[in-house]
Amino acid sequence: MADYYEVLGVERTASEEEIKKAYRKMSRKYHPDIAGPEFEDKFKEVNSAYEVLSNPDKRRMYDQGVDPNDPSSGFGSGAAGFDMGDVGDIFGQFFGGAFGGGASQGPTPRTQPGRDALARTSIDLKTAVFGGVAHVTINTFGLCQECGGSGATEGSQPVTCPDCHGQGYRQKVVRTMLGQMMTSAPCERCEGHGTIIEHPCPACMGHGRVRTTRDVGVTVPAGVHDDTRLRLPHQGEVGEGGGAAGDLYVDIRVKPDKQFTRDGDDLHCWVQIPMSWAVLGHGLDIDTFDGSQHLDIPEGCQPEQTVTLKGLGATKLGETNRGDLIIHVNVVIPTKLKDDERQLIEQFGERHDGDKPKVEQSCKPLSAKKGFFSKLKDALG
């Protein structure tokens, strides 16, 4: 027999409120829309545990060693033509009320907790770096403003059901192969609530909530990564009878940026410079998320050499420190030269590289030691 107390993570002496609180926590944790479809069986197990432990009769039977949800025990759903609420009464007939019968069964509350909701939104890379506010539009149940969640029209209140006198269930005698037995079942008139809304709110038809579309502002923390899931407490679906709203979970997608790419907390970009700047060195201004920044290309800069600007990368999540901005230098070597330009390059090559430059050969990538003008001569043939 499954340990329902262990499934919900509560003690055997837990109160109804503690069980309800634990159920909300576990159902959020294992809801297939939140945790993924692979947790569907676990979610069903949590619901089965709550179905038993939230019902006084079923919980009493379970504590006596009988699982009301187990068909093989003879007391599962539909056994001998009775529902779960009947079992306590049958045991009461046989054992003189040892199991309490249906007398302790209470009405079903109209107020029920709402379910969690899931939404998605896209942000740009700059918002991911510095943080900001994103907006999502959700269509879900919200509190009925006309009745404030009571389900009744203004000035009226639910009244005690005259059929069950507020108990939420009715007892009746049924004939079985064992003779006549007393059973209990939810009251049909009040649907087990013990009260009747004689004048339901026309806006929500007595449910205390209405379908609504609303815009929710989402605070995005600085340094958030792609596919991060944020939780907004009590921003989900409002429950029946104006019950407490569930949570809203928002999946964050960071859109690609045209100038920068992210690697951890560092940002990377690529710049192209003329060959002469690489040889002689040069200063230039580049765009960053912090505005225009000056960059010094060192003399003799090699292709794919990097220059780092400290502290201009992405914010480290949960901190104030930032990563670096790493600039990759791409040297543009001309492929067409005028005659006088070619002569100048050849003259420089003869002086700088010699008539017979040594060619290095390796099974691994070589460091960029070969002169720029030797590379230029190779490019020009």
- Residues 348-370: tens digit of each pLDDT: 877 776 666 566 777 776 655 44
Q: Is the pLDDT of residue 314 over 80?
A: yes
Q: Cα–Cα distance between 341 and 331 in angstroms, integer?
A: 18
* CA distances (Å), origin 370, targets 64, 273, 275, 324, 347: 86, 18, 14, 29, 17
DSSP state of 108: P
- Mean pLDDT of the 95-101 span: 38
Band of pLDDT at residue 99, cut at 50, 70 and 90:
very low
Enumerate the β-bridge partners of residue 325.
267, 309
257-332, what's its fold?
A: HSP40/DNAj peptide-binding domain (2.60.260)
Banded model confidence at residue 209, pLDDT cuts 50, 70, 90: very high
363 is in an annotated binding site: no
Using the CB atoms, write b or e for 168-201: b if 16+ within 10 Å. bbbbeeeeeeeeebebbbbbeebebbbbbbeebb
Span 288-311, average pLDDT = 93
pLDDT band at 82 (very low <50, low <70, confident <90, very high): very low
* Assigned token pair, 27: 């159902």
Check the annotation: does 190 bind a ligand: yes
If you average pLDDT over residues 141-170, what whole number do you get?
91
Query: What 3-state DSSP class applies to 379?
Result: helix
- The pTM score is 0.62
Please report the pLDDT score of residue 358 as a whole number: 67
Q: Where in the chain is the domain with CATH 2.60.260.20?
A: 257-332
